[in-house]
Chain A
Amino acid sequence: MATTTDAVLEVAQPSKRANWRATTRRSTWVGLVIEFARRRTLGAVGAVVIIVMILIALLAGIIAPYDPLETSFLDQLMPPSPQNWLGTDSFGRDVLSRLIYGSRTALKIGFGAAFVGASIGAVLGVTSAYFGGKIDLLLERLMDILISFPLLILAVAVVTALGNNDTNVIIAITIPIIPRVARVIRSSALSIRQMPFVEAARGLGASHARLVVRHMLPNVMAPYLILVTAFLGQAMLSEASLSFLGLGVAEPTPSWGLMLRGASVQFVERAPWLAIAPGVALSMAVFAFNLLGDSLRDALDPRLRL
């Protein structure tokens, strides 16, 4: 039975990916990547920056010139020099090394929060659209409530409630993402619910779970991917903002937001390198994710408004 269902659906289901592949005339992954780079140069630039950043984060132990936690009271607030390319902070720690290790924190929390948030949001959005009626109304109200909390305030409240370690910071950043993703996914899923292939599957006796998982979820992959990329940048900014307020990751963990806190404001005139370097790193990372997100949207779902 299952095989017949799938065979029928193969024909009926308008697969976006198949169309995209057909127009690119290349069917290998490498071909797809080349095509994307040619057509969406800005997005490809973003992707390259992201890949470089991931490599830096993975190889932090090898490329960082010093231990990011090592303090030295003889080298406090040293300006950039051949020994410390980006200078040292008020504890004499090497800014470049902390910047390099900071990419780990940013990526870990960014990816964690964006994936978890977008995934829960997508499931809730699809469920809401699929069942409609009372469940839809209930979930929508719940999302309304969550959305009425300003992004950062909700995160601040959650972190204070749970205490600030990495996992809790991820949870705090994830919660505000959920309703925003659920809204967008719900509206995409509403139109899919009406499509003939869903009705065909239902007619063939597919269960609710099967319909949602096999037929609805794969068709909201495009907005899902776009939302993940868009919220990755957002999540990294939230992490930095929380850390900046002293409510994110705790000292001495290297975090770009934390590096901008305290000393870098206090000594802004005497040691401007403390304030500039982490901000540039953070902005570049978010910029790259935004560029990639924009290009993904243009390529996969141009009408999606974010």
Chain B
Amino acid sequence: MHRYIINRILLMIPTLFGVAIITFVLLRVVPGDIVLLKLAGDGGRIEESVLQQERAKLGLDKPIPLQFVDWTLGALHFDFGLSMWTGRPIVQEVAIRVELSLQLTIMASIIATLLAIPLGAMAALKQDTWVDYAIRLFSIGGLAMPGFWLGILTILCLLVFFHYLPPLTFTPLLQNPAENLSQLIWPALTVGYRYSAVATRMTRSTLLEVMRDDYVRTARAKGLAEQFVVLRHAMRNALLPVITVIGLEFAFLLGGLLVTEQVFNLNGIGKLMVEAVVRRDYTMTQALIMLVASAFVVTNFLIDLLYLFLDPRISYS
């Protein structure tokens, strides 16, 4: 058990190292040069010596392997350097945006869970009735509608029917909860609906499978009321895969809000990422991809650990 945990932690290292290398190489083969873009982006002519000077300042004149070693050494103690575009420390730039993205991710996950589990269970218990069909159509609809379009429609509805536009500037939750929620609830709802779709389908299919198991028949034969059979016996076992799905979505969302943040004009990690990529801000892009990949790998690991506690039949050895 301890060996398993240590093994899993050790396995994260090559994965994250691989992500770092791929990102590093990918960024450096990108045609287009941050220095040119930054200094001569609007078309002016710049002396070659000035460009060289800027490159040296950003450390881009060193050989690429050396740059990678420098970066890795920094990253190991959470020093990701300065943003090549703004010149400010990356940790600081990310910190002011991570609160928004994290809050949005948590809200969306809560909404997705609250939608998915009851809907999925209802669909399974009323299999092949109109309830089941309606819920399945609702959830496939969530998968089919692009998140950004749902966002546009939400804004359109608010504007047309309520003449209301959500606030545009971010207020931290603790400072003014009402203001904060009135901005973030809309993106959270659209993302939450979309992400509930996968979890709803998962709840439905696992619950259907579990309801045919022997121990459910035993529970019924004991004369237990149907609600106890479902809630105490079936649901507990059916929810394990659902937890995986919700957990993975959580990990993906942290970095997957690119489009939603664009639509609702939110200044979060996703928007920062798109900006960084477009501006060829190597250090920033690298740091953000590492952040998102680490979140994904760690969440994956935590889900597997959670399984150990939730399902005594599983032992990783």
Q: List A contacts of B91 (CB < 8 A).
A: none
| In the complex with contacts A141-B18, A145-B15, A279-B145, A268-B140 CB distance below 8 A | no
Q: Roughly how many angstroms separate A290 CA and B18 CA in the complex, as a whole number? A: 33
Stretch at the interface among A59-67, A128-136, A151-159: A151-159
Q: List B contacts of A272 (CB < 8 A).
A: 156, 160
Q: Roughly how many angstroms separate A149 CA and B152 CA in the complex, as a whole number? A: 26
Rounded to whole Å, the gap between the CB of B248 and the closest CB of chain A is 10
Rounded to whole Å, the gap between the CB of A112 and the closest CB of chain B is 19
Rounded to whole Å, the gap between the CB of A200 and the closest CB of chain B is 33
Within 275-293 of B, Cβ neighbours of A (below 8 Å) are at 277-278, 280, 285, 289, 292-293
Q: List A contacts of B153 (CB < 8 A).
A: 275-276, 279
Stretch at the interface among B24-32, B118-126, B214-222: B24-32
CB–CB B149/A153 < 8 A = no
Interface flag for B98 (CB, 8 Å): no
Q: Roughly how many angstroms separate A26 CA and B309 CA in the complex, as a whole number? A: 51
Interface flag for A25 (CB, 8 Å): no
CB–CB B143/A290 < 8 A = yes
Rounded to whole Å, the gap between the CB of B206 and the closest CB of chain A is 9
CB–CB B159/A269 < 8 A = yes
CB–CB B296/A283 < 8 A = no
Rounded to whole Å, the gap between the CB of A277 and the closest CB of chain B is 11
Residue of chain B at shortest CB distance from A148: B293
Partner of A148, one of B30, B274, B278, B296: B296
Interface flag for A204 (CB, 8 Å): no
Q: Roughly how many angstroms separate A221 CA and B140 CA in the complex, as a whole number? A: 24
Interface flag for B259 (CB, 8 Å): yes
Q: List B contacts of A152 (CB < 8 A).
A: 256, 258-259
CB–CB A279/B258 < 8 A = no
Rounded to whole Å, the gap between the CB of B251 and the closest CB of chain A is 8
| In the complex with contacts A260-B152, A275-B153, A290-B144, A160-B278 CB distance below 8 A | yes
CB–CB B143/A233 < 8 A = yes
Rounded to whole Å, the gap between the CB of B162 and the closest CB of chain A is 12
CB–CB A275/B152 < 8 A = yes
CB–CB B146/A237 < 8 A = yes
Q: List B contacts of A260 (CB < 8 A).
A: 146, 148-149, 152
| In the complex with contacts A142-B18, A161-B26, A245-B259, A149-B289 CB distance below 8 A | yes
Q: Roughly how many angstroms separate A35 CA and B186 CA in the complex, as a whole number? A: 44
For chain A, the count of residues having a C-beta within 8 Å of the partner chain is: 44
Interface residue tally of chain B, by bracket?
35 or more
Interface flag for B72 (CB, 8 Å): no
Within 235-271 of A, Cβ neighbours of B (below 8 Å) are at 237, 240-241, 244-245, 247, 257, 260, 264-265, 268-269
CB–CB B146/A150 < 8 A = no
CB–CB A283/B256 < 8 A = no
Within 256-306 of A, Cβ neighbours of B (below 8 Å) are at 257, 260, 264-265, 268-269, 272, 275-276, 278-279, 282-284, 286-287, 290-291, 294, 305
Partner of A291, one of B14, B140, B148, B202: B140
Q: List B contacts of A268 (CB < 8 A).
A: 152, 155-156, 159
Q: Roughly how many angstroms separate A8 CA and B297 CA in the complex, as a whole number? A: 46
Rounded to whole Å, the gap between the CB of B22 and the closest CB of chain A is 7
CB–CB B274/A286 < 8 A = no
Within 156-198 of A, Cβ neighbours of B (below 8 Å) are at 156-158, 160-161, 163
Per-residue contact bits, chain A 202-216, to B (CB 8 Å; 1 contact, 0 not)? 000000000000000
Q: Roughly how many angstroms separate A152 CA and B292 CA in the complex, as a whole number? A: 12
Interface flag for B23 (CB, 8 Å): yes
Q: List B contacts of A149 (CB < 8 A).
A: 19, 289, 292-293
Partner of A150, one of B32, B280, B296: B296
Partner of B273, one of A151, A153, A279: A153
Q: List B contacts of A265 (CB < 8 A).
A: 152, 263
Q: List B contacts of A290 (CB < 8 A).
A: 140, 143-144
CB–CB A157/B14 < 8 A = no
Q: Roughly how many angstroms separate A260 CA and B262 CA in the complex, as a whole number? A: 12
Q: Roughly how many angstroms separate A153 CA and B19 CA in the complex, as a whole number? A: 12
Interchain residue pairs with CB less than 8 A apart (9): A150-B256, A156-B277, A244-B262, A245-B259, A245-B262, A282-B146, A283-B145, A286-B143, A290-B143
Q: Hey, which bits of chain B sit against chain A, CB under 8 A? A: 14-16, 18-19, 22-23, 26-27, 29-32, 140-141, 143-149, 152-153, 155-156, 159-160, 202, 205, 241, 252, 255-256, 258-259, 262-263, 273-274, 277-278, 280, 285, 289, 292-293, 296-297
Q: Hey, which bits of chain A sit against chain B, CB under 8 A? A: 141-142, 144-145, 147-153, 156-158, 160-161, 163, 233, 237, 240-241, 244-245, 247, 257, 260, 264-265, 268-269, 272, 275-276, 278-279, 282-284, 286-287, 290-291, 294, 305
Identify 4 new A-B residue pairs, CB closer than 8 A, beyond the known A145-B19, A150-B255, A152-B258: A148-B15, A150-B296, A283-B145, A290-B140
